Amino acid sequence: MIRQKTLIRQHQILEAVRELIVTKGMGAVTIDAIADKVGLSEGALYRHFTGKHQVLSLLIDEIERDLLQAVAEAQVGGATPLEN
């Protein structure tokens, strides 16, 4: 089982990546920039993720989950999401 502190730190890392992408673009997303944004060393970041690819993959999974949840919530009363 993953420790609660690890889950919190992983969430902080994903939020830092999301903010870097929004404010500076994908080119700014480096392990060094992520670690700096969260206040970690690069080594500490690697304790939570194997690398940038894993971080981005989990961010995509999180965005997909949020989008599917929003679509499910929009399907109220049998209407399509666009009708709502």
Tell me the per-residue pLDDT of 18-62, one tens digit each, with 9 for 90 and over. 999 999 999 999 999 999 999 999 999 999 999 999 999 999 999
Q: What is the pTM of this model?
A: 0.77
Average pLDDT, stretch 4-29? 92
Q: What is the DSSP string of 4-32?
A: HHHHHHHHHHHHHHHHHHHHH-GGG--HH
CA distances from 9 to 3, 5, 46, 76 (A): 10, 6, 12, 35
pLDDT at 78 over 60: yes
pLDDT class for 83, splitting at 50, 70, 90? low
pLDDT band at 6 (very low <50, low <70, confident <90, very high): confident
